[in-house]
Structure 1
Amino acid sequence: MENEEVVTSAFNIAAFSNRAIIDFISIIILVGLIYYPKHKNKDFIFNFVLFNVVNFMICSLLGAVKIKIGFAFGLFAMFSIIRYRTIAISIKDMGYFFGCVALGMINSLASVDDGYYLLIACNAVILILTFCLERLDFLKNENSKDIVYDNVELIKPDNKLLLLEDLKIRTGLNIHNVEVISIDYLKDVALIKAYYFSKESLNLIPTSKDSDD
């Protein structure tokens, strides 16, 4: 009986070690080789790796209880409501965050009856898909930004080309279209929405509200 318990314990340790190695290699590839070369943000690397490791440990330690599916979805839902209030996190960074959390869950709770082949394949699919989507440089986003503009003479339809040229010079963005939202003739300013193409969905121009904060 004691020998069986020793064998079972050794098997559990070996299984945990194998899962930990797969998870560690996957998170290093995702964060170190896919995310960082493109975004150069060391602060998010800390968060991504930490959430992945902590999530992997929690799922591994508590996954033995017969509530694996409900536990996994509950933990994922808990992480989904987390918001970073000190900084603005982009949609793509949030996607990486969920990828790191999902890898921790998959590698800790997935069945390995086939000898880890399916687990390794799932990790490979996630990493390859992330790599391919990250390198879709030919796709551009049409972003928009509200701008308080101080030259109301240029907002006339006849001066649209001059307005676009002035906005390009001031903002450094390749603005291709504008929309007048409101005009304040007392302050001689207008609120306009500028449209431009970018590879990333980022707020590059601070608004008047951001400046006040």
Structure 2
Amino acid sequence: METEEALISAFNTYDFIVRSAIDFIAVALLVGFIYYPKHRNKDFIFTFILFNVVNFMICCLLGAVKIKIGFAFGLFAMFSIIRYRTIAISIKDMGYFFVCVAMGMLNSLAFVDDNYTILIICNIVVLFLTFILERLDFLKNENAKEIVYDKVELIKPEYREQLLYDLNERTGLNIHRIEVISIDYLKDTALLKAFYYAKESEYVLPTSDDND
């Protein structure tokens, strides 16, 4: 009986060590080799790793409880509603936060039956997918910015090319379309919503024939 308990204890220790190694390597690759080279934000590295490790440890230590799955999802929900009110967090940073917390749950609670191959493959798939999506530089990201414009005469549809050219020259942005929000005839200004691509592309200057 004591031998059986000793074997179970040894297996639990071995299982914890293997899971810890898998989780640590996975989150280190995610944060150190995928996130940081692209974003260069050390503060989020601290947050991502800390949440991953704490979530992993809590799920491992309470893994023997029968309600461990429900508890894990409750813990995940608690983490997911945390908001940092001092700074604005981008959608992509929240995505990394989600992955770090989910990896902690996956590596601590997944049933492997003494075979960690599937668990390792799952981590590799998550890392590979994150790496590919992070480096989709060929996709253009459209942003919008409101601009108070002083040349009201150019907001007419027939002067669209001249308007785009003037806005690109003034702002240095790759603006490709404009929406007129409001016009103030007293101040002779217009409030425009300019849509531009974050990735720079070549802008073709209008010719004299186009201006005529």
Which TM class, normalised by the smaller chain length?
0.7 to 0.9
Deviations 1:124-158 (A, max 9, x none): 11011111111211111222222222332332333
The aligned counterpart of 2:17 is 17
Structure 1 stretches lacking a partner, 5+ long: 200-213
The aligned counterpart of 2:181 is 181
Q: 1:11 to 1:114 in 2, by over 3 A?
A: closer
Structure 1 segments of 4+ aligned residues over 4 angstroms from their partners: none
1:62 aligns with 2:62: yes
Deviations 1:137-185 (A, max 9, x none): 1111222222222332332333322321222123221001101010122
Residue 179 of structure 2 aligns to a residue in which SS?
strand
Residue 137 of structure 2 aligns to a residue in which SS?
coil
Amino acid in structure 1 at the alignment position of 2:9: S
Residue 85 of structure 2 aligns to a residue in which SS?
coil
Q: How does 1:20-59 map to 2 (within 5 A)?
A: 20-59=20-59
The aligned counterpart of 2:104 is 104
Q: Give the share of equivalent positions with the same residue, in percent.
A: 75
Counterparts of 1:146 and 1:136, CA distance in 2: 27
1:141 aligns with 2:128: no
Deviations 1:74-117 (A, max 9, x none): 12222221222211111111111101111100000001215111
Comparing 116-125 with 79-88, greater Cα deviation is found at: 79-88
The aligned counterpart of 1:93 is 93
Larger Rg: 2
Residue 64 of structure 2 aligns to a residue in which SS?
coil
Counterparts of 2:28 and 2:6, CA distance in 1: 33
Counterparts of 2:147 and 2:61, CA distance in 1: 52
The aligned counterpart of 2:205 is none
Superposed CA RMSD in Å reads 1.6
Counterparts of 1:187 and 1:114, CA distance in 2: 74
Counterparts of 1:12 and 1:132, CA distance in 2: 35
Amino acid in structure 2 at the alignment position of 1:74: G
TM-score normalised according to structure 2 size = 0.87
Residue 143 of structure 1 aligns to a residue in which SS?
strand
Structure 2 stretches lacking a partner, 5+ long: 200-212
TM-score normalised according to structure 1 size = 0.86
